[in-house]
């Protein structure tokens, strides 16, 4: 088969090993191509290169020239040429070829090269559609407004209207985000020149505000709103967001400069990388299908895109080489698939990662704190709404309480958890002295609201729903103990910290007292007792009961179960007997004597559920941690049959009599202040 002028075909050439005279074979039976040994005369090398150029001139198009080793070539003193990289050659250009010894021979593959719009690199940045590299690729290789350039330092440069130049540090084609920095390290210096309406990109980030910039004298010190890279000893540059009152800032000697619309907080005050996203062209669907994206019909003016399949490489001669190629292709496919999975995971994690909001964002989200949901020890909770119409709960932390440990615990713990029965931390605010936490909204409030209204059927969820809630909370705690890279101890499990969504699915919340430890760590140290009175395990108060560990959460969960059971009482509590008997002990005595708990039940199955919850709860509140089950065992008991055996009597040393007429009141609950640890 002869190759006609102007044709471009995939051609495979096989060079066979001879001896140290060189490697020979024929091209279409007419022309001999030589790959001489390194010590051969230069004229032979020149002849080889000239013939290679002849090939490119014959094809009149682009082709790939690549090397494959042939293990069947057993000549000890054979030689070959080595190619540093695949050669994309055309009639005007030829790649570099060097020579080296190759005892096992080699094969050469000439196949169709990717076209002029193939992926290029500038430094570590891969450049492909919708971007193009100016001066090296024609216009139709990129989407309008996506031109990049490669400077003398091998840095990729993005130019935005008008005359704003950033250095590119990363491009995520799957999420359609490009990350850039200012070459001089001061992004705010260029922002006033930026024309967002004329750009193909938008700032990525939820905490964006309109800002007004002021040039102020050093006397009007306001470090919180100062732009560091624009401020000097002789003056300071302030940025005040549109949601703030200018009257609250000392700007009497300031000069207003200009306005900046919709700028992320971190760009102005923290010199963070700028993340820009593009929505058009939308090539995500092509990437997900393993295809590439390009302009339709290579038309740079219409800006319409299409997906296309990636072309295959040329054929490799030889049975062994074919097998090697199949193995390589399989590895490549597996690697690409893993990379795709990793990229999807990172993108999903980015979507779930807590967002940092400014205080102006918090005010906007809560509509200036209009809808108050509740008040707690560490702060006030308000209802809010994000820009995507999703409702959230915003806790404004009280600066007079604690030393910021609750804030650090919440962000550090919830930021790494994504579990169905654990409340999700949507974002947080650390804006100067102002701190806030933004959670997913639970419209049905806390479990506390549904287990304390003893005499009202209006709020009764039903025993099957209570059993479902108990099991879900148990699974959530078990996940905290065993499902993360570090064990998370909550230390404040109680009904008030179990939130219910619109379908009454429980969410464990309030990780302000939580503590991280290694999964194999059997005990943790506490400098102070922590938790809510009535739910705190004995060992948290006194080490005489054992070490503080994950079993402390088991105790708190047991008290929660007993309150779920006892909260549905239908008998009158009298002041005379309310403090005579400890409530869990009263429950134990009833069950131990085979009597009914005398709670609100309508069917036999309800009584079985209530009894099961009570028995599991009693297992969990054993005085000594070693006698309590793990949360994994608790889940198994709740999921198993109803005939859970009674635990040992934890109250045997405090023999007390049971009142046959009335139910004892539950011990009063109160928030536990800081208490010195007991030795």
Catalytic-labelled residue, pool 206, 361, 492, 553: 492
- Higher confidence at residue 575 or residue 151? 151
Candidates 3.90.70.10, 3.30.70.270, 3.30.200.20, 3.20.20.70; CATH matching 355-440: 3.30.200.20
Mean pLDDT value across the chain: 71
**pTM score, whole prediction:** 0.48
- Point out the least confidently predicted range of 170-174, 191-195, 201-205, 405-409: 405-409
- DSSP E strands: which ranges in 129-201? 132-133, 147-150, 156-160, 164-172, 177-181
- Measured CA to CA, the distance from residue 675 to residue 610 in angstroms comes to 35
Strands 506-508 and 498-500: antiparallel
The answer to whether 625 and 552 have CB atoms below 8 angstroms apart is yes
pLDDT band for position 54 (cuts 50, 70, 90)? very low
Left (φ > 0), alpha (ψ -120 to 50) or beta: where does 317 sit?
A: beta
What are the tens digits of pLDDT across the range 635-664? 999 998 777 889 988 777 543 433 443 444
Q: Which fold has domain 448-676?
A: Transferase(Phosphotransferase); domain 1 (1.10.510)
What are the tens digits of pLDDT across the range 274-318? 889 998 888 877 877 778 888 887 665 667 888 887 644 333 333
Percentages helix, strand, coil for the chain (3-state, rounded to 5) are: 30, 25, 45
- Measured CA to CA, the distance from residue 601 to residue 33 in angstroms comes to 95
What are the tens digits of pLDDT across the range 369-394? 999 998 876 789 999 998 767 899 99
Q: Which single residue is written with the structure tokens 């102007």?
A: 6
What are the tens digits of pLDDT across the range 225-259? 788 888 888 888 888 877 665 665 666 778 888 88
Q: Is 70 a catalytic residue?
A: no
Mind giving me the DSSP string for 6-24?
A: T----EEE-PEEEETTEEE
- Measured CA to CA, the distance from residue 554 to residue 631 in angstroms comes to 6
Domain extent listing, the chain: 11-112, 155-277, 355-440, 448-676
Q: What is the pLDDT of residue 392?
A: 94
**Per-residue pLDDT at 457 exceeds 70:** no
The response to whether 507 counts as a known ligand-binding position is no
pLDDT band for position 195 (cuts 50, 70, 90)? confident
- Measured CA to CA, the distance from residue 114 to residue 452 in angstroms comes to 71
Strands 274-277 and 202-203: antiparallel
């Amino acid at each position: 088969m002869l190759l006609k002028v102007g044709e471009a075909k995939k051609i495979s050439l096989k060079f066979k090993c001879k001896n140290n005279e060189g490697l020979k074979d024929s091209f279409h039976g007419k022309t001999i191509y030589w790959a001489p040994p390194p010590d051969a005369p230069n004229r032979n090398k020149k002849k080889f290169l000239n013939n290679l150029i002849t090939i490119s001139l014959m094809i009149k198009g682009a082709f790939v020239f690549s090397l494959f080793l042939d293990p069947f070539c057993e000549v000890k003193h054979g030689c070959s040429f080595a190619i540093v990289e695949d050669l994309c050659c055309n009639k005007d250009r030829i790649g570099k070829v060097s020579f080296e010894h190759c005892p096992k021979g080699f094969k050469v593959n000439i196949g169709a090269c990717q076209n002029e719009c193939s992926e290029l690199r500038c430094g570590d940045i891969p450049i492909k559609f919708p971007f193009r590299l100016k001066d090296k690729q024609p216009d139709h290789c990129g989407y309008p407004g996506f031109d990049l350039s490669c400077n003398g330092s091998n840095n990729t440069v993005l130019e935005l209207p008008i005359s704003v130049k950033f250095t590119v540090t990363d491009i995520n084609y799957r999420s359609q985000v490009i990350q850039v920095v200012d070459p001089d390290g001061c992004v705010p210096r260029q922002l006033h020149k930026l024309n967002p309406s004329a750009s193909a990109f938008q700032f990525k980030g939820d905490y964006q505000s309109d800002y007004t910039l002021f040039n102020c004298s050093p006397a009007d010190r306001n470090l919180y709103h100062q732009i560091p890279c624009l401020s000097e000893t002789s003056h300071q540059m302030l940025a005040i967001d549109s949601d703030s009152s200018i009257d609250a800032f000392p700007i009497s000697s300031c000069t207003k400069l200009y306005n900046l619309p919709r700028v992320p907080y971190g760009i102005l005050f923290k010199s963070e990388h700028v993340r820009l996203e593009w929505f058009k062209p939308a090539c995500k669907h092509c990437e997900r299908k393993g295809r590439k994206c390009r302009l339709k019909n290579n038309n740079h003016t219409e800006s319409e895109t299409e997906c296309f399949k990636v072309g295959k490489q040329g054929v490799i001669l030889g049975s062994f080489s074919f097998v090697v190629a199949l193995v390589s292709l399989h590895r490549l496919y597996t690697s690409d698939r893993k990379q795709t999975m990793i990229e999807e995971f990172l993108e999903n994690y980015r979507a779930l990662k807590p967002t940092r909001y400014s205080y102006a964002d918090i005010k906007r989200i809560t509509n200036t704190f209009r809808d108050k949901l509740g008040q707690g020890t560490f702060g006030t909770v308000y209802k809010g709404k994000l820009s995507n119409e999703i409702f959230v709960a915003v806790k404004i932390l009280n600066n007079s309480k604690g030393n910021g440990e609750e804030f650090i615990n919440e962000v550090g713990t919830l930021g790494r958890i994504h579990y169905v029965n654990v409340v999700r931390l949507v974002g947080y605010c650390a804006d100067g002295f102002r701190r806030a936490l933004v959670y997913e909204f639970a419209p049905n409030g806390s479990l506390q609201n549904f287990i304390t209204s003893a005499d009202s059927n209006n709020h009764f969820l039903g025993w099957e729903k209570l059993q479902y809630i108990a099991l879900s909370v148990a699974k959530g705690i078990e996940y905290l103990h065993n499902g993360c890279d570090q064990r998370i101890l909550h230390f404040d499990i109680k009904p008030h910290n179990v939130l219910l969504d619109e379908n009454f699915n429980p969410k464990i919340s309030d990780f302000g007292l939580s503590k991280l430890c290694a999964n194999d760590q059997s005990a943790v140290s506490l400098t102070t007792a922590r938790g809510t009175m009535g739910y705190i395990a004995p060992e948290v108060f006194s080490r005489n009961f054992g070490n503080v560990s994950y079993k402390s959460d088991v105790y708190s969960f047991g008290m929660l179960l007993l309150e779920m059971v006892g909260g549905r009482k239908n008998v009158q509590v009298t002041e005379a007997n309310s403090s005579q008997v400890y409530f869990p002990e009263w429950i134990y005595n009833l069950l131990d004597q085979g009597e009914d708990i005398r709670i609100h039940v309508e069917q036999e199955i309800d009584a079985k559920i209530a009894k099961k919850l009570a028995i599991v709860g009693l297992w969990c509140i054993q005085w000594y941690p070693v006698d309590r089950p793990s949360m994994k065992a608790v889940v198994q008991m709740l999921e198993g049959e109803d005939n859970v055996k009674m635990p040992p009597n934890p109250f045997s040393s405090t023999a007390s009599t049971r009142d046959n007429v009335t139910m004892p009141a539950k011990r009063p609950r109160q928030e536990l202040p800081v208490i010195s640890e007991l030795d």
